[in-house]
Each structure stands twice: as structure tokens, then as C-alpha cells.
């Protein structure tokens, strides 16, 4: 079974000069994985518009579930092409960008951030980092870049190139070395979705500074029954309108079918996550295929067994959430 992650690839250490920045941007445009510096921590960067590239992040980090990822942009204008900014979001962006603040906003109709990077949600998490090297890479790449912390899941976030290389060497294409990070903790995350900005994660921008800008106290995630919807928290994932039946052998009459692997038969209303059994390809298709099958209007989407290994663990985590009682 193809696990879609080579643990023997050569990881380049790039200098943070013009040549290194250009090579990092080219690797990202080609679907590669690059650890790069921001002012908070080093991020494991990939093309946010490519589900396959984003799946590579999860594979390299051995991340157990598909939480939404922060997409990084070079400026506010680029961010506004991806998300819809209300007055609060715009005021916060103008006050703290570039800087260690992430805003969760509704995805715009023209949003190019992949379903996988958004964990199938109708929202998108956006940040404009202040680090000059990160800014240069983003400008050269010319697309949103997803970049969670450059460490394996459950380990300490990387604040230097050495940290990132020690954790991810042999698993990613390059590390762009610009020395230690300045802030050393992740960005603050604020959701601006319903007129009452919510603090989803404390971080590099103090709560008091945010409240000063918006002129009101922040709602804290979990208050008033709100479910967390951001990176670094228990995500509220997209669930189809249809019921989801897991580890099915075949569809029953009237069910849509989500298959996996080369031995699948052809059924009406069916899609195959990966005809070759490639878990990275399957991850990249997961949210989009669930949505496509759901639009057909079945009462149930039957899902073939997915191996519980590598990225299969994360795929199954997402499917179990979709199948949970509502």
C-alpha cells in the first residue's frame, strides 16, 4: 500500500537569501514541503490550493486528524480574495497584519484554499506573517500557503531551523534557515463570523490589544455553546446531509458509494478516493468527494474500509466524525 510519504527523501537546508527564497517558492509551487520561518514559529509550508500538497503536511507531521490549517498570504488584499471580512475582521487585520494574528472568516466565493486545508468547512483561517523571509516566499509563490508548526504532531513547536530539521529531516523537501524566531509562540486566533468576535486560541497578540481595537470583550471559545472551529482545537467538521455508513462491503439499494483501492467494482452514484490505494490521494479527495456524493441526495453514503495506518488514521478520524449521531 502506498503511504505517500518517503522517509528517505533528502531534505535541503536553504539559506535565507535570494536564491534560497526563490528555491523554496519553486518547491512550493511544485507541490513540495518546506519548513520556513515566521515571526511566531517555523511553519511546515505547502501549497494551500492543492489538496495533494496539503495531504503531504499531514503525512509528514503524522497528524491524527484533519483540523483546518492556517493559510498564509503576503498582504491584506490577497487575504480578502480568500475570505469575507466584516468590519471587525477588517479592523483587526488593519491593526495587526502583518503579525501574529490569525482570522477565521467565511470563505469567499472565489476562495482557492483547498477543501482539505479548510477541513471541509465553509470558513477559512488566514494570516499575513510579519517575518520578511516568509513574506518574500509568499510573494514569490503567488498563492496561499498552508503552514502549521514544523514539527511532528504532539511534539514541541520548532523555533529554529535546527528544530525543524531534527523533527522533519528526511520527510520534507527543504528547511529555509533564517535563524531563531522572534515571538516563539503560535499566533492568536480570532473568529469573525457572526458579529461577535471569538478568541479561539491565545497567542502572539494579547487579548487586551484585540479588545481595544474592536471596542468590546472577546467571546471565549466554548462560551454560549460555540464549538471551536480553528487550528489547534477540537474542530467542528463539515458533515454531509446524508448519513454515513463506515467499513461497508458494498452499497445497499439507494446508497451512494465512496470506495477506495484498485479492487472496487463500479456502482451507480459512486466515487473512488484512490483507485491505486494511495492514502495521500485519498486524503486530498476526501472532503470534495463527500460533498459531491451528498449533492446527489442519497439518504446514506456507504464508505469502503480505509486502512488504519499512515494517513488512513486521519481519514478514518474524519469519517467517524461525519458518521457520528447528530
In contact, 84 and 93? CB cutoff 8 Å: no
Domain hosting residue 290, numbered range: 243-323
Share of the chain above pLDDT 90, in %: 66
pLDDT of residue 326: 67
**What is this structure's pTM?**
0.82
C-alpha cell at 78: 490577497
Same domain, 121 and 159: yes
pLDDT of residue 142: 97
pLDDT of residue 184: 79
pLDDT of residue 238: 45
Q: 168, 195, 225 — which closes off a domain?
A: 225
CA–CA dist 164, 89 (Å, integer):
32
Q: Which of 93-97, 133-137, 192-196 has the lowest mean pLDDT?
A: 192-196
Mean pLDDT of the 62-85 span:
92
Same domain, 20 and 137: yes
User: Does 3 have pLDDT greater than 90?
Assistant: no
Looking at residue 170, the DSSP 8-state letter turns out to be: T
Same domain, 20 and 111: yes
C-alpha closest to that of 284 among 119, 105, 152, 124 = 119
- Rg value, the chain, Cα: 20
Same domain, 57 and 204: yes
Before 98, cis peptide (omega within 30)? yes
Same domain, 186 and 278: no
pLDDT of residue 224: 41
What is the number of structural domains in the chain?
2
Same domain, 149 and 287: no
In a domain, 281, yes or no: yes
pLDDT of residue 65: 76
CB atoms within 10 A of CB 91: 17
pLDDT of residue 6: 44
C-alpha closest to that of 199 among 222, 180, 215 = 222
pLDDT of residue 231: 55
Q: 225, 259, 282 — which closes off a domain?
A: 225
Same domain, 210 and 270: no
Mean pLDDT of the 169-196 span:
91
Considering the chain, what is the average pLDDT of its residues?
89
Mean pLDDT of the 90-96 span:
98
In contact, 183 and 100? CB cutoff 8 Å: yes
- pLDDT single digits (tens) 215-235: 999 988 764 444 445 554 443
Same domain, 175 and 248: no
pLDDT of residue 232: 42
More confidently predicted of 66 and 146:
146
In a domain, 186, yes or no: yes
- pLDDT single digits (tens) 33-59: 999 999 999 999 999 999 999 999 999
Q: Is 239 exposed, middle or buried (0-12, 13-18, 19+ CB in 10 A)?
A: middle
Q: 156, 191, 225 — which closes off a domain?
A: 225
In a domain, 3, yes or no: no
CA–CA dist 301, 271 (Å, integer):
11
Q: Which of 18-27, 64-73, 80-89 has the lowest mean pLDDT?
A: 64-73
In a domain, 102, yes or no: yes
Same domain, 221 and 256: no
In a domain, 147, yes or no: yes
In a domain, 171, yes or no: yes
Same domain, 139 and 285: no
Same domain, 89 and 20: yes
More confidently predicted of 228 and 29:
29
User: Does 304 have pLDDT greater than 90?
Assistant: yes
In a domain, 232, yes or no: no
C-alpha closest to that of 125 among 204, 238, 230 = 230
CATH no. for residue 143?
Answer: 3.90.870.10
C-alpha closest to that of 181 among 214, 152, 157 = 157
pLDDT of residue 222: 60
Strands 70-72 and 123-127: parallel
User: Does 187 have pLDDT greater than 70?
Assistant: yes
Q: Under 8 Å CB-to-CB from 79, ≥6 apart: which residues?
A: 73, 85, 93, 97, 103, 126, 128
CA–CA dist 151, 170 (Å, integer):
13
In a domain, 266, yes or no: yes
Q: How far is CA 229 from the centre of its chain?
A: 12
**What DSSP assignment string belongs to 223-290?**
GGGPPP-STTS-------SSEEEEEESSPPTT-EEEE-STTPPP-TTEEES-TT--HHHHHHHHHHHH
Same domain, 59 and 117: yes
Share of the chain above pLDDT 70, in %: 92
- pLDDT single digits (tens) 230-288: 554 443 344 688 999 999 999 999 999 999 999 878 898 999 999 999 988 988 888 88
Amino acid at each position: 500500500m502506498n503511504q505517500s510519504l518517503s522517509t528517505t527523501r533528502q531534505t535541503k537546508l536553504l539559506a535565507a537569501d535570494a536564491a534560497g527564497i526563490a528555491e523554496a517558492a519553486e518547491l512550493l509551487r511544485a507541490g513540495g514541503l518546506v519548513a520556513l520561518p515566521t515571526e511566531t514559529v517555523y511553519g511546515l509550508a505547502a501549497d494551500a490550493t492543492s489538496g495533494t500538497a496539503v495531504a503531504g503536511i499531514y503525512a509528514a507531521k503524522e497528524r491524527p486528524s484533519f483540523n483546518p490549517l492556517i493559510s498564509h498570504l503576503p498582504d491584506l488584499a490577497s487575504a480578502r480574495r480568500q475570505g469575507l471580512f466584516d468590519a471587525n475582521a477588517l479592523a483587526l487585520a488593519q491593526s495587526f497584519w502583518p503579525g501574529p494574528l490569525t482570522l477565521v472568516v467565511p470563505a469567499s466565493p472565489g476562495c482557492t484554499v483547498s477543501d482539505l486545508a479548510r477541513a471541509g468547512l465553509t470558513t477559512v483561517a488566514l494570516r499575513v506573517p510579519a517575518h520578511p523571509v516568509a513574506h518574500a516566499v509568499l510573494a514569490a509563490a503567488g498563492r496561499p500557503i498552508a503552514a502549521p508548526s514544523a514539527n511532528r504532531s504532539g511534539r514541541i513547536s520548532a523555533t529554529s531551523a535546527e528544530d525543524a530539521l531534527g523533527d522533519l529531516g528526511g520527510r520534507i523537501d527543504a528547511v529555509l534557515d533564517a535563524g531563531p524566531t522572534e515571538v516563539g509562540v503560535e499566533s492568536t486566533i480570532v473568529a469573525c463570523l457572526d458579529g461577535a468576535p471569538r478568541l479561539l486560541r491565545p497567542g502572539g497578540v494579547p487579548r487586551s490589544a484585540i479588545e481595544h481595537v474592536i471596542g468590546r470583550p472577546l467571546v471565549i471559545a466554548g462560551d454560549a455553546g460555540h464549538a471551536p472551529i480553528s487550528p489547534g482545537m477540537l474542530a467542528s467538521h463539515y458533515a454531509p446531509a446524508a448519513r454515513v455508513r463506515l467499513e461497508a462491503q458494498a452499497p445497499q439499494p439507494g446508497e451512494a458509494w465512496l470506495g477506495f483501492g484498485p479492487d472496487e467494482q463500479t456502482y451507480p452514484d459512486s466515487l473512488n478516493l484512490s483507485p491505486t490505494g494511495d492514502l495521500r490521494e485519498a486524503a486530498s479527495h476526501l472532503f470534495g468527494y463527500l460533498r459531491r456524493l451528498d449533492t446527489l441526495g442519497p439518504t446514506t453514503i456507504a464508505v469502503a474500509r480505509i486502512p488504519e495506518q499512515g494517513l488512513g488514521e486521519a481519514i478514518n478520524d474524519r469519517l467517524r466524525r461525519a458518521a457520528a449521531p447528530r
